[in-house]
Amino acid sequence: MKLVVSTRGSKLSLKQVELFKSYINKFVNVDLEIKVVKTKGDIIQDKPLYSIGEKGLFEKEVNNTVLKGEADIAVHSMKDLPKDIDPRLDIIMVLPREIPNDSLIFSKNVVDDLEKIPEGSIVGTSSMRRKSFLMHYNDKVIIKPLRGNIDTRIKKLNNNEYDYIILAESGIRRLGLDPKRIILPLDIFPPEPGQGIIAIVGIKDNSNVKTISNYTDKLTHYMAIAEREFLKEAKAGCSSPLGAVSIIHDDKIVIITGLASFDGKFMEIVRFKDYLNNAEKLGKKAGEFVYSIIDKVLK
């Protein structure tokens, strides 16, 4: 089977296509043709993502290539997908999840806890969630916007433009990097919903796409359902300082949600638990709870 794959051109995006190929070829022989697409998020590098005020900055152009029939599937980091994608499309399958945590990266000043970052240190992130969560634990730091691919961000850190930066651990591992870092616990720093999950998007009635959907990773599928439903019910966007991540234990699924005020003075972390088969119901419950308090927190 031959599939044309739409993707961004970053090292991480291309690595994720490679990971998809390695995974799917364990089950069925697939030959991939890669079509690289530049997105608005790739072009605009001088602003934090939350300040652009537009959904799907790393998704729209890639998925449009599929809709126009120029590609069969699109490969995404699930955290880049907005809560609603084009109704003609579907998340066809997911790969086994990589570790979903964020990590605090440093080159010189070693710490083992967010609260121990020295006063006045410059921390790089363009995520409102990471900014607000960090401010909750340490309001003595200076937060400076940080854009670019993972290599570029780490290079800026090593060039002393920042004292610390925060990145997704999954991207670091997929690229085979090993900077000095600490992994931030899920129950104090919940990540972006879908972080660590590679999602394959395609047109619903494409026969080739239906074939590969049979090989979705079952446990990751449940986690994706819970976290996508959470996003939908919380009515959250990239400017909302909230996170959510699900964990599976035997036949139970737990979703950890975190919501902070923009200045970090308030932060609420709540766990929800249900049977695995109720993953969608659990995500809905968690999202409804966050939506019920979000206006009070963000006012």
Residue 83 contacts residue 242 (beta carbons within 8 Å): no
Q: What is the mean pLDDT of residues 152-172?
A: 97
Specify the pLDDT at position 52. 43
Query: In Å, how far are 3, 7, 35, 192 from 189, measured between CA atoms?
Result: 38, 29, 35, 10
Specify the pLDDT at position 38. 81
Tell me if 189 is assigned to some domain: no
Tell me if 191 is assigned to some domain: no
Q: What is the mean pLDDT of residues 196-214?
A: 91
Q: How many residues are given for the chain?
A: 299
**Cβ-Cβ contacts under 8 Å for 14 (sequence gap 6 or more):** 7, 34, 36
H/E stretch holding 133 reads: helix 128-137
Instruction: Check residue 251 and report its DSSP letter.
Output: T
Given a cut of 50, whether residue 41 has pLDDT beyond it is yes
Confidence of residue 57 (pLDDT cuts 50, 70, 90): low
Given a cut of 90, whether residue 147 has pLDDT beyond it is no
Same domain, 172 and 152: yes
Given a cut of 60, whether residue 298 has pLDDT beyond it is yes
Same domain, 11 and 85: yes
Given a cut of 80, whether residue 54 has pLDDT beyond it is no
Looking at the 3D structure of the chain, how many domains does it have?
A: 3
The sign one gets for the Cα dihedral 153, 154, 158, 163 is positive
Environment class of 97 (CB within 10 Å of its CB; exposed 0-12, middle 13-18, buried 19+): buried
Given a cut of 70, whether residue 160 has pLDDT beyond it is yes
Residue type for 241, please? P
CA distance 187 to 140: 22
**Cβ-Cβ contacts under 8 Å for 217 (sequence gap 6 or more):** 93, 94, 95, 96, 97
- Give the orientation angle of helix 11-24 with respect to helix 150-158, to 10 degrees: 130
Specify the pLDDT at position 58. 65
Supply the CATH number for residue 147's domain.
3.40.190.10
In terms of Cα–Cα distance, which of 276, 222, 283, 221 is closest to 250? 276
Same domain, 232 and 268: yes
The sign one gets for the Cα dihedral 230, 234, 240, 241 is negative
% pLDDT > 90, the chain: 82
Same domain, 178 and 37: no
% pLDDT > 70, the chain: 93
Given a cut of 60, whether residue 55 has pLDDT beyond it is no
Environment class of 160 (CB within 10 Å of its CB; exposed 0-12, middle 13-18, buried 19+): exposed
Retrieve residue 267's tokens: 């932060």
Q: Which residues participate in catalysis according to the annotation?
A: 79-80, 129-130, 147, 153, 238
When mean pLDDT is compared across 13-22, 55-64, 187-196, the lowest value belongs to 55-64
Same domain, 65 and 203: yes
Given a cut of 80, whether residue 189 has pLDDT beyond it is yes
**Residue-range definition of the domain harbouring residue 9:** 1-94+197-215
CA distance 203 to 230: 23
Given a cut of 60, whether residue 239 has pLDDT beyond it is yes
Which of 183, 207, 226 is a domain's end point? 183
